[in-house]
Amino acid sequence: MSITADESYVLTGHCPSVIGSVELVTGFLFQQGCYVTELQTFDDTETGEFFIRAEFYPEKNDPEKTGVSIEQLQQEFAKCAEAFGMSWHIRNARQPTRCIIMVSKYDHCLQDLLHRQQTGHLNIEVAAIVSNHPDLQGLAAWYGIPYYHFPITAETKPQQEAQVWHLIEQTGADLVILARYMQVLSEEMCGRLHGKAINIHHSLLPGFKGAKPYHQAFEKGVKLVGATAHYVSQDLDEGPIISQAVEAVDHSYTPQKLAAKGRDTERLTLARAIKAHIEHRVFLHGNRTVVLQGHD
């Protein structure tokens, strides 16, 4: 596949912190006749690890370079990166990320994601919507997206997750979004989806678990509500965090108003996390993440 001047690509990499790691990337792209439109780096002084993200396109005024293929870029950069011990990827920045959205009955995050995708604010292709309830089938039909109702009980959980995994493989989805999917994934499923599944949940301060968290928050007189988006992990709600947000509230907020404020915060936080992921701005770094932020 040849690269044209109308295409945009992203090179991401991480390696031990050594002199010349920035020049490795920028020098290579210069030699290939590519113009860098965005460059971000982070050096973790605690672990001695270096992270870099470069967005680029072939120089329009260099006709000799515009015929280069992404495969050629990958082959040539592999030779350079090996000496630095760099793990890296070169991807098409404009290629939509194929995903599956999982949801239960709450539709606010799903509605928001579908609207952002439809209006071009989120570069995703929703291959399917999966739910353990039939309630949101009409919404999926309105957007023309296949809807799969996979009921689940404690006894049928292995079979239900097998259905989900088969659908992931069948559709070629690269990302699973848990848009208020009110079921806990098994350890096996979490392992399979490592770094490829994003969850959203409320993060009230202090935290309230169980039923009606916003009613619990009202009774305690909380002054902040928030949300956390993170990769799923085998430790419930403790996966590497991608994005968080908090909003101030006061004594005038009823449980219903607290819940409404929470829904708004969840929508925005989840969308930010997904955007960072699909733009290849997130590096998994142990149980943490390095997020090289872009523009909302």
How many other C-beta atoms are found inside a 10 Å radius of the C-beta of residue 63?
Answer: 11
- Residue listed under structure tokens 């932020």: 293
Specify whether the CB–CB gap between 185 and 232 falls below 8 A.
yes
The angle formed by the CA atoms of residues 124, 34 and 61, to the nearest 5 degrees, is 115
Three-class SS of residue 74? helix
Closest CA to 202 of 260, 253, 251, 152: 260
Q: Which of 43, 237, 250, 264 is flagged as catalytic?
A: 237
Distance CA 33, CA 277 (A): 27
43 catalytic? Reply is: no
Residue 78's H or E segment, with its range, is helix 70-82
Specify whether the CB–CB gap between 165 and 193 falls below 8 A.
no
Distance CA 194, CA 174 (A): 11
- Residue listed under structure tokens 């994003």: 198
- Give Cβ neighbours of residue 220 (< 8 Å, ≥ 6 apart): 206, 208
Three-class SS of residue 103? strand
Active site positions, annotated: 237
